[in-house]
Structures are given as C-alpha cells and as structure tokens.
Amino acid sequence: MTERILSTALDADAAARVTSLRAPMTHDEMAAAVARRGSLFTLETWLVQAKAYVGSILGVGLLSPLLYLMAMGVGLGVVVDRASGGGLGVPYLHFVAPALLLSTAMQAATEENTFTIMGGFKWRETYYAPQVTPITPEQIAGGHVLGVTLRYLVTCIIYWVVLAVFGAIPHVVTGLLLIPIGVLCASSVGLPIMAWSSTITQDKGQFALLGRFVIMPMMLFAGTYFPLETLPIYLQPIGWVSPLWHAVVLGRAVTIGTPVPAGMVVVHVGYMVALCLVGWFLARRHYRRRLVG
C-alpha cells in the first residue's frame, strides 16, 4: 500500500515537472525578445568595452577635481579673494566649485561622443555587427546614450564628493542637485555632438577643432571662472548660447544660494532639455542612415 502511494506521488511529481516545462523559443520569439531589449544589449556591450578604461575614468574623475581645486579654488582663490575684497559675496572656492564640476561633465560628454562614435562606425566598426540581429540603429544609439549617461553620473558623483570633502559646497542638501544638473548639462552637450559625429566619415582633425574652437570658448565664456556680466556685452552672447552657462547658473543657485527667478529656472532647464531632444532626434536619424542607408 505504501509503495503504491509513493509510486503515485512520484508519477504526479514527474507529470507536474513535464507540464511545467516551456517549449524552446522559436526563432521569431527569440528575435522579438532581442528587439525588445536592443538598447540594453547595446549598453551591455558598451559596459564591456568600458572595462578597458574604467581605471582611467575613476582616476581622472578623482584627480581632476583635486588638481583643479588646488589650482583654481585654493591657489587662485586666495589671490581673487584678497584682490576683490569679497566682491563676489562668497569665497572664490565656493564660486568656482560648481562650474568646475559642470565643465568636467561637459568635457566627458565631448570625449564620449567624438572618437567613440568614430570608432563604432569606422575604426572598430562595432556598430555593424548588431545589424545582423533584430537590434535597430535607434537602439544602438540608445544603448550608447545609456552608457555615456552612466559615465556622466559616475563622474559627477566623484567630483561632488571631492568638492564636499573640501568644503566647497556650503549648501550640501540642495547641493546634491548639482549632480543631476551636471548630467543634464553633459547630455545637452553630448547629444548634439553625437549627432554631428555620426555624420563624419573621415577624421580630418574635426574633433580637435571642436575642442579648441567650440568647447574651450564655451568653458571660458560661460561664467565658469568669473561672472559673465563682467565681459563686454558683445561677448556675453557666447555664454548665453552655451548650455554650460545655463547649468552654471543653476549650479550656483543650489550650492551657494545665488538667486534665480523661477521663470529663468524654466528657461535654463528648458534650453538644455531642448538641446537634448534635438540632438537625440538627429542622432537616431543619422545612425539609421549610416547603418541601413
């Protein structure tokens, strides 16, 4: 009797296991699964490639704020504070700190959306292998954006921690908003550059020109090291069109309490968001043209 009950239980258990087994995915089902998560698969590829230089990302992210703070905030800051007699209203270290973080985020966006894009299309041609899968060009672009956004976030967090340790952020709680502002600033610079880089077929020094005649002036004339209002009026528009200036205004508002009207907050955020949207639209379009034709 006991053996019969045990045999019946085993048969029932075996039947349950058999009925619970799923049939193998068909080719179409597998293709659909890949298509649904194409951007995430591309992000995974980006992360694998990023392992090769993660030490550089972390090292630069840590050393860069230390060197800039020593040179600009501590060294030059002493001179500026003595010469101005407190004319800025705050110590120069507090004034320049948020701009240093934001300009570093902008530089990271420039790095990740120039030579990396060129490598994907031409030098290493890593964008073409996914073309034999259901992953679309738009998803390849999306995976790249997810990856570099993660880079911006890590860079901003490391920089923020160093600033906080040095006492460069007097309003620490609201100063945390400097991190998402930095990510938004980097994206508003990086996405238009990504769209432009995806159209380049031959490296003829375009990226060097971009760094010297676009990124560098944006950093110098965006109120980074001195108030934009101190420039002649004919030079101030360089700052106004720079997403860095809009981010710096917001960054100083959350870190040192510089007053910014609510309407201008909308303008600053809206301008950077608009650049992100335009850059993303054009990047998707250019990726499809390059990869599909």
Task: Give CA separation, 110 vs 13, 62, 105, 116, 182, in Å.
Answer: 60, 18, 9, 10, 14
User: Which residue, 225, 223, 261, is CA-closest to 244?
Assistant: 223
Can you give the pTM of this predicted structure? 0.87
- Mean predicted confidence (pLDDT) in 53-59: 76
Q: Which two tokens stand for residue 95?
A: 């004034």
Q: Residue 113: name the closest of 138, 145, 140 by CA.
A: 145
228-267 burial code (b ≥16 CB/10 A, e <16): beebeeeeeebbeebbbbbbbbbbbbbbbebeeeeeeeee
Radius of gyration of the chain measured on its C-alpha atoms: 25
User: How confident is the model over 95-146, as pLDDT tens digits?
Assistant: 999 999 999 999 999 999 999 999 999 988 889 988 888 899 999 999 999 9
Q: What number of other Cβ atoms are within 10 A of residue 227's Cβ?
A: 12
84 vs 201, higher pLDDT: 201
Lowest mean pLDDT among 80-89, 113-122, 164-173, 243-252: 80-89
Find the mean pLDDT for residues 183-192.
98
pLDDT of 5: 47
The 8-class DSSP code of residue 51 comes to G
Phi first, then psi: what are they for 217, rounded to 5°?
Answer: -60, -35
What mean pLDDT is predicted for residues 78-107?
84
Task: Report the mean per-residue pLDDT for the chain.
Answer: 87
Confidence tier at 24 by pLDDT (50, 70, 90): low
Report the C-alpha gap between 46 and 126 in whole angstroms: 10
What is the CA 63 to chain-centroid distance, rounded? 19
Query: Which residue blocks in 24-177 are alpha helix, DSSP H?
Result: 27-36, 38-50, 54-68, 77-84, 92-112, 115-118, 137-165, 172-175
